[in-house]
């Protein structure tokens, strides 16, 4: 039970970095492709998705707004221009939310969710920047994606993350 695990855990050593089970799992070679990019429902998750979300915020393509009576994210004027230049078909949201943060469980940071995130994933697949792995939720970064998507994100992705992804 949870309570017994709580009391049986060793105390952290002062000055020593703590590595939890989740971090250890994602560092295994078998998980590296999923750590880089995978599906999270209908949108992208993983290191590339976090980089995409960071880029959208850094470039001020997303801004806080109200959606369906509550707080949410919306495309700024600059974001709409960027999306048009990218050739992205902006979704009609209907009752769905356009954009919101979703916690990424491998990166422990937020990535983009919502109809905009779904449209971005579909765009990346159509451009052959990513390919869906038929055996898992994994998304394979293609050589074209390495050139164009990574450049678009200007993410400063770790060399190991890009090197470890199947081409």
43: CB partners within 8 A, 6+ apart: 49, 102, 111, 112, 113, 114, 117, 118, 120, 121
Calculate the CA dihedral of residues 17, 21, 26, 27 and round it to 10 degrees.
Answer: 50
Model confidence at 53: pLDDT above 50: yes
In the three-class reduction of DSSP (H, G, I as helix; E, B as strand; rest coil), residue 65 is classed as strand
pLDDT of residue 19: 58
Q: What is the pLDDT of residue 25?
A: 66
- Express each pLDDT in 82-141 by its tens digit: 999 999 988 776 778 889 999 988 888 899 999 999 999 999 999 999 999 888 889 999
Query: How many Cβ atoms from other residues are within 10 Å of residue 109's Cβ?
Result: 14
Give the C-alpha separation, 113 to 109, whole Å. 13
């Amino acid at each position: 039970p949870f309570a017994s695990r709580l009391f049986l855990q060793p105390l952290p050593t002062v000055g020593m970095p703590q590595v939890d089970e989740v971090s250890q799992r994602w560092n295994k070679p078998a998980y590296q492709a999923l750590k880089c990019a995978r599906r999270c429902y209908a949108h992208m998750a993983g290191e590339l998705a976090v980089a995409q979300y960071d880029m959208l915020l850094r470039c001020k393509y997303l801004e806080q707004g109200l959606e369906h009576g509550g707080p949410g994210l919306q495309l700024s004027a600059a974001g709409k221009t960027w999306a048009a230049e990218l050739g992205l078909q902006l979704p009609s949201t209907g009752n769905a939310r356009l954009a919101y943060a979703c916690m990424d469980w491998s990166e422990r940071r937020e990535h983009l969710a919502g109809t905009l995130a779904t449209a971005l994933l579909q765009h990346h697949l159509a451009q052959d920047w990513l390919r869906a792995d038929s055996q898992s939720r994994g998304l394979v970064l293609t050589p074209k994606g390495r050139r164009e998507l990574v450049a678009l994100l200007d993410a400063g992705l770790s060399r190991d993350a890009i090197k470890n992804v199947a081409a």
